[in-house]
Amino acid sequence: MKHRLPFTLVFVVFAMTLLLWPLKPYLVETAALTPFYADEFTFGKLFCTHCGLLFQVAAGFQSCFAYPWLGAGLFVAVLVAIAYVQRWAFRVGDNWFGICWISSFALLLNFTQLGYLIYTLKHPAVAFAPALGFLAAFALIGLWFRLKEWWWKLAFLLLIPAVGFWLLGFFGVLVAPFVGFCEMGIARFKQFDEPSSVGKRSFRRPFRGNDTPHMLWGLALFFLGLLLPSLLQLVLHRHLDWETGHIPFGNLNREMRLPWILALAVPLFYAVFRLDGKRRWTAAVSAIVFVAAGAAAYHYSFLDHNFLNTLRMKHASEAGEWNRVLVLARENKQEPTRAQVCLTRLALFKTGRMGDELFTYPEGAAEYNAPQQNQWLRLMIGPLLYYHYGKTGFAYRWAMEDLVEYGERPAYLRYLYNVALLNGEDALAQRYERALARTLFYKSSVAHICASETSKESEFSSIRPLLNYTDQLDGDDGLVEFYLLHSFALSEGGSREMVELSLMNSLITKNLTGFWPRLLALLPTWQGHIPTHYQEAALMVAQLQGGAPVSDLPIDPAIGQRFQRLVQASAQNGDNAANAIALRPEFGTTYWYYYFFVEGLKTN
Amino acid sequence: MNRFLFIYYFIAVVLTTVTWGCAPSVPTSYKEAAGTVAVSPDNFGATLPPNIAPLNFHIMQGDASEAVTHLHSRNGGELIVAGWDVCFEEDEWHQMLEQTRGDSLYCDIYLKAYGVWEHLPTQRFYIAEEEIDPYITYRLIRPSYVTYEELTINERCLENFDERVIYENIRFEDSEQGQCINCHMPHNWNRDAQSQFHVRQNLGGTVFISGSDATKVNLKTDSTLSAGVYPAWHPTLNLIAYSVNETGQVFHTLDPQKIEVIDYASDLILYDLDANTVQHIDRTASEFESFPSWSPDGRTLYYIAARYTPRAEDIDADLDSNYDQLHYNIYARDFDLQTRCFGPRRLVFDAESLGKSASVPRVSPDGKYLLFTLADYGQFHIWHKSADLQLLSLTPDPSPMDEAAEALNSPESESYHAWSSNGRWVLFSSRRDDGNYTRLYISYFDSKGRAHRPFRLPQRTTDDDDLLLRSYNAAEFMVNPVQPTQRQLRKVIQSDARPAVYAGSALLHPEADSTAHTVSLPTERRSSTIAY
């Protein structure tokens, strides 16, 4: 006991800190991507699919990540239980207890390593399903070694493969071959250890006191464990699909499968090597292994700053905390991804600060730190951007496409619901409302269930002015930012908000064709103060194209003088590259600098 | 022994008393209420087949605390259910319907609010004499755009709630290449256990089922636009007419209709199952032909066609901009059963002149009526809120019967439809419930050619429809279940497809056939997966 508590405490502190500090937004996002519905309809279908029970329970636990303390607490509790159950099942001595934590660290890492892949992994509960599955499997293996009567063992052999696959999928199938493997291992122990203690572990062996028959017995159990589920499947539940979806590998690359395999391999190690020694060095080895496993779990966890910051910005956007989005954007010290840039621009638009501040925020096109350069922007924030920019058809479309591809995740249902409500499709909204009301933690997304009906109306009121355009047939090929930029930059007319978006997006795309009509249309709405970037653009366009009425505009003299300094300085510094470096300190936050020196940004 | 008998007797008495005490009863004292109670689905007033599964429904609670539903007929039968979820016991329901053939079934709902029972106005079902085909087949699909996962082709017994998956695509889905399945079409209501469905992309081909056997054929030839798409089995010969389509989807930015499914080119072909040959029926370059359908005697092929004159070199872009200018009419060609050749085409219904567009023509089994979908434009009407079902009398001269199909329609889209084998029931898709998720409705079609108020496909509980985020798609009646198991079908689909051979034109005067389309390369927006 004295060795167990420190291991446990260290693991709990480590795992909780990792999950609740850097990975907190990841937990919240994981919850939104977990399809868990608590109602009779879902429970009625629980036993209709293989692994149904495990997936449903695991998804229920995983949806608790919506409250990170609760979800992390549950997850860590399951991982702690895995270590203890392993110790119990395989009779691991206290000195070797550190080894039992390898599976727990591996299963923690199995979840924390995913990063962007959490969006594309088609699995209902990637964190909890393997954890609970292994826990159940280890507990059943432990039970086998504690069954004394042969009829209990026989019942176990028949029942676990038959029902196990049905309820637990792969993990149910795992038990019987594992037991067989352990039985073979016991034969091996027998050669080196006292036979009496080994004998206690196995039940009426066909040939007592002989190692070879014992090995054969284990081998028979092993193959029986493999074959029985297949045979029983043929006879009992033909409707179940044997081949699909037991192991949550999905599109994980090989390296990312290692934690999962490690979690499985360690208990096999127990079967081959007996870990009940009491020598002092064993405790040291155990502690070293524990620390190494923890270090590896931390090292290989996906703690990418851009990823986590994007999630924080996304969650702030979903909560309508636009100022917080801007604070997060400002605090970012790395080159941002396009997703962060898009969220920043959206927040600036929502707060009415777009014209004054847009080019003062970090610009960039950092690659997404993911195995493939997928459509991460679309997957993470596509529906959010389209919804808030009034392209409701496309918000609905991508939420639906992803729902089809990745399952009925609350993250998608929220946008389907919002768009239906905004479109006035009340019956459709009610359908999604019913679906969201079945979740544990996303009922508040539903306007009339939560107290925030007024906040929903205020959200809609900021989007409605952007719906003032003629519908058209279009396609974006998943290039959300590119589509939004160009659709606004090329649009004409509409509400004040739409004209400002078309002005700003034409500036961003450096398409100055419609600059003056848009600027002049907006002029009366600014009541004397033209936002800074538009003043900068007006001076620049007048300089480049000539003949524009700049003198009639209320241009801030300071901005005018700054522009003159830019013109003079750029003439002195020589080529464009030299200018870009030299002018950045003074002019890096102006539209001029963006227009002349920020190039080659890859949208999406 | 006597002691045990006494115990058994005692238990029996207690159980009987408890059961009797719990059995719901119709309130004896109540006051009459005005108005109606909201139920879901609201099937009251519909005409029901005598062999249909129980029409369970849910009563919206409102202010009431208790509810009792009393179903009864004139010849004394009754069913009483307490509670908000009104689920009838299957055997009792069937017995009641059998007793009520050709008569009315009455439904009284009593609600208890603030301690007082109220009786709502009596509702009525009419039970037809004619039975409905016991099975239907359909595809379950999310009302999606271009992605598709977990598509299933299902079979449902209409006499109870048994549903089974004939084939599902998840096995052959991977991140590289998906698999789409569609258009499960039985031959002659599956009387002779023959049907077909398409598999697209991964392991693609058309699967022909005959009894418990199946084969896979590749209907795409170098001379045709695509593999077969919308099928029409010839009633007596081993022939299937197909449309071949280059279809794409484009998306509305704002309109709640959400998607336009556009054919950028389409023709008609005839596939001979015995000879494994494909022939062109109609490939007029300036027209898009689609949705073939045979008359019951097999002597006429009905189909839709729209005239298209390109306004720009880029046909895709032109059609995307002018999608609402494409109007399909209904045409027919006579078919000679001996020579197996088609005659010249004739116009059956001029939708264009009405500023409308027709799709999915289907002739009733008695050959008297043509049921089709009519909307403002295009041919893929499931996404068009203007889409309604229309009837055309085929004898002696085709004439529209505007009021005859009125009962079938709603402000939302009504589209794909099928006749039962006896011609007395029409199965059709409708989005009337929420404008987005297609549900199946069944209507009685009487001998005078009038459709009656439809009812929604019965479900065990209302949740089965309300919580299902999938659409019912391309449903067809069947008199027999499909025989092969999923395992057998998977095996066939994994095998190589037998290539069909092109055999020229099936027209009596092929020279009249104008120049064929130039087969264009598929563009990104062209898709093989469309949720009709």
Whether residue A469 lies within 8 A of chain B, CB to CB, comes out as yes
Contact B463 A40 (CB under 8 A): yes
Contact B250 A430 (CB under 8 A): no
Is A407 contained in some domain?
A: no
* φ and ψ of B362, to 5 deg: -140, 125
Q: Are residues B174 and B51 in the same domain?
A: no
Contact A469 B436 (CB under 8 A): no
Maximum separation of any 2 CA atoms in chain B, in Å:
97
For chain A, the 3-state helix, strand and coil shares in percent, each to the nearest 5, are 70, 0, 30
**DSSP state, residue B458:** P
Whether residue B144 lies within 8 A of chain A, CB to CB, comes out as yes
Is B526 contained in some domain?
A: no
Who contacts A47 (Cβ-Cβ below 8 Å, separation ≥6)?
Answer: A53, A166, A167
Q: Are residues A80 and A198 in the same domain?
A: yes
B271 three-state secondary structure: strand
- Closest alpha carbon within chain B to A393: B253
Chain A residues within 8 A of B323 when measuring between CB atoms: 473
Buried b (16+ CB within 10 A) or exposed e, A114-135: bbbbbbbbbbbbbbbbbbbbbb
Is A445 contained in some domain?
A: no
Whether residue B170 lies within 8 A of chain A, CB to CB, comes out as yes
Name residue B163's beta-bridge partners.
B156
* φ and ψ of B314, to 5 deg: -85, 100
**DSSP state, residue A335:** P
Q: Are residues B61 and B166 in the same domain?
A: no
Nearest to B254 among A41, A393, A401 (CB): A393
Of A260, A281, A300, which marks where a domain is finished?
A300
Q: Are residues A318 and A277 in the same domain?
A: no
Report the predicted TM-score, pTM, of the whole model to 2 decimal places: 0.91
Cβ contacts from A onto B, under 8 A: 103
Strand B123-127 to B47-48 pairing: parallel
B25 three-state secondary structure: coil
Number of Cβ within 10 Å of residue A243's Cβ equals 7
Q: Are residues B67 and B151 in the same domain?
A: no
Token digits of residue A494: 């509409």
Name residue B213's beta-bridge partners.
B210
Q: Are residues B496 and B363 in the same domain?
A: yes
Q: Are residues A210 and A350 in the same domain?
A: no
Is A458 contained in some domain?
A: no
Strand B328-336 to B341-349 pairing: antiparallel
Name residue B10's beta-bridge partners.
none
User: Do B507 and B289 meet the contact criterion of CB atoms below 8 Å apart?
Assistant: no
User: Do B483 and B212 meet the contact criterion of CB atoms below 8 Å apart?
Assistant: yes
Q: Are residues B163 and B298 in the same domain?
A: yes
Q: Are residues A283 and A335 in the same domain?
A: no
The Cα A62–Cα A70 span in angstroms is: 10
Of A320, A351, A368, which marks where a domain is finished?
A368
- Closest alpha carbon within chain A to B462: A41
Mean pLDDT of B331-357: 96
pLDDT for B529: 45
Contact B435 A403 (CB under 8 A): no
Of B100, B127, B154, which marks where a domain is finished?
B127
User: Do A348 and A361 meet the contact criterion of CB atoms below 8 Å apart?
Assistant: yes
Q: Any idea what the CATH number is for the domain that residue B102 is in?
A: 2.60.40
Q: At what angle do helices A101-112 and A128-146 cross, to 10 degrees?
A: 160
Q: Any idea what the CATH number is for the domain that residue B429 is in?
A: 2.120.10.30
Domain count, chain A: 3
Q: Are residues B199 and B310 in the same domain?
A: yes
* pLDDT tens digits, one per residue of B82-115: 999 999 999 999 999 999 999 999 999 999 999 9
Domain count, chain B: 2
Buried b (16+ CB within 10 A) or exposed e, A553-583: bebeeebeebbeebeeebeeeeeeeebbeeb
Whether residue A396 lies within 8 A of chain B, CB to CB, comes out as yes
Q: Where are the alpha helices (DSSP H) in A370-452?
A: 376-388, 392-406, 410-423, 426-437
Chain B residues within 8 A of A477 when measuring between CB atoms: 524
B306 three-state secondary structure: strand
- Closest alpha carbon within chain A to B248: A475
Is B7 contained in some domain?
A: no
Token digits of residue B269: 């072909």
The Cα A297–Cα A257 span in angstroms is: 13
Whether residue A230 lies within 8 A of chain B, CB to CB, comes out as no
Q: Are residues B66 and B214 in the same domain?
A: no
Q: Are residues A344 and A238 in the same domain?
A: no
Q: Are residues A20 and A64 in the same domain?
A: yes
Is A317 contained in some domain?
A: yes
* pLDDT tens digits, one per residue of B217-271: 999 999 999 999 999 999 999 999 999 999 999 999 999 999 999 999 999 999 9
How many residues in total does chain B contain? 532
Token digits of residue B510: 């092929």
Q: Are residues A503 and A362 in the same domain?
A: no
Name residue B125's beta-bridge partners.
B105
Whether residue A367 lies within 8 A of chain B, CB to CB, comes out as no
Strand B213-218 to B498-499 pairing: parallel
Task: Cite the beta strand spans of B383-521 per DSSP E.
Answer: 388-393, 399-400, 414-419, 425-430, 439-444, 455-456, 471-478, 498-499, 501-505
Contact A471 B147 (CB under 8 A): no
pLDDT for A249: 57
Shortest Cα distance from A534 to chain B (angstroms)?
Answer: 28
Q: Are residues A514 and A487 in the same domain?
A: yes
- Highest mean pLDDT, choosing among A85-94, B46-55, B136-145, B301-310: B46-55
Token digits of residue A154: 């026989």
Task: Kindly compute the dihedral angle of the four CA atoms of residues B502, B506, B512, B517, in this order, to the nearest 10 degrees.
Answer: -40
Token digits of residue A495: 């509400």
- Closest alpha carbon within chain A to B432: A427
Q: Are residues A160 and A284 in the same domain?
A: yes
Q: Are residues B310 and B283 in the same domain?
A: yes
Shortest Cα distance from B145 to chain A (angstroms)?
Answer: 6
Is A471 contained in some domain?
A: no
Token digits of residue A404: 């089809």
Whether residue B149 lies within 8 A of chain A, CB to CB, comes out as yes
Number of Cβ within 10 Å of residue B116's Cβ equals 12
Is A468 contained in some domain?
A: no
Shortest Cα distance from A540 to chain B (angstroms)?
Answer: 34
Is B471 contained in some domain?
A: yes
User: Do A416 and A41 meet the contact criterion of CB atoms below 8 Å apart?
Assistant: no
Is A457 contained in some domain?
A: no
Shortest Cα distance from A484 to chain B (angstroms)?
Answer: 11
pLDDT for A190: 46
Q: Are residues B100 and B149 in the same domain?
A: no
Chain A residues within 8 A of B464 when measuring between CB atoms: 41
* pLDDT tens digits, one per residue of A333-375: 899 999 999 999 999 999 999 999 999 999 999 999 998 877 9
Token digits of residue B523: 């563009």
pLDDT for B129: 97
- Highest mean pLDDT, choosing among A592-601, B12-21, B353-362: B353-362
Q: Are residues B159 and B240 in the same domain?
A: yes
Q: Are residues A180 and A315 in the same domain?
A: no
Whether residue A543 lies within 8 A of chain B, CB to CB, comes out as no
User: Do A30 and A65 meet the contact criterion of CB atoms below 8 Å apart?
Assistant: yes
User: Do B84 and B109 meet the contact criterion of CB atoms below 8 Å apart?
Assistant: no
B85 three-state secondary structure: strand
* pLDDT tens digits, one per residue of A489-532: 999 989 999 999 999 999 999 999 999 999 999 999 998 899 99
Is B353 contained in some domain?
A: yes
Buried b (16+ CB within 10 A) or exposed e, B488-501: ebbebbeeebeebe
Token digits of residue A581: 């470096």
Is B317 contained in some domain?
A: yes
Chain B residues within 8 A of A396 when measuring between CB atoms: 258
Is B528 contained in some domain?
A: no
pLDDT for B305: 97
User: Do B139 and B184 meet the contact criterion of CB atoms below 8 Å apart?
Assistant: yes
Chain A residues within 8 A of B467 when measuring between CB atoms: 39, 41, 434-435, 438
pLDDT for A52: 82
What's the half-sphere exposure (Cβ side, CA atoms, 13 Å) at A555? Answer: 22
Q: Are residues A288 and A351 in the same domain?
A: no
* pLDDT tens digits, one per residue of B432-452: 999 999 999 999 999 999 999
Q: Are residues A144 and A271 in the same domain?
A: yes
Is A117 contained in some domain?
A: yes
Nearest-5° angle of CA B189, CA B195, CA B201? 140
- Closest alpha carbon within chain B to A431: B466
Nearest to A394 among B253, B436, B464 (CB): B253
* pLDDT tens digits, one per residue of B379-424: 999 999 999 999 999 977 777 787 889 999 999 999 999 999 999 9
Is B446 contained in some domain?
A: yes
Token digits of residue A557: 């003299």
* pLDDT tens digits, one per residue of A540-589: 999 888 766 788 899 999 999 999 999 888 887 677 788 888 899 999 99
Domain carrying residue A295: 4-44+52-300
Number of Cβ within 10 Å of residue B209's Cβ equals 25
Whether residue A428 lies within 8 A of chain B, CB to CB, comes out as yes
With 0-12 CB in 10 A as exposed, 13-18 as middle and 19+ as buried, what is A339? Answer: buried
Of A368, A391, A413, which marks where a domain is finished?
A368
ipTM over 0.95: no
- Give percent above pLDDT 90 in chain A: 58
Q: Are residues B123 and B143 in the same domain?
A: no
Q: Are residues B465 and B358 in the same domain?
A: yes
The Cα A423–Cα A420 span in angstroms is: 5
User: Do B104 and B124 meet the contact criterion of CB atoms below 8 Å apart?
Assistant: yes
Domain carrying residue B38: 32-127
Task: Cite the beta strand spans of B420-480 per DSSP E.
Answer: 425-430, 439-444, 455-456, 471-478
Chain centroid to Cα A368, Å, comes to 14
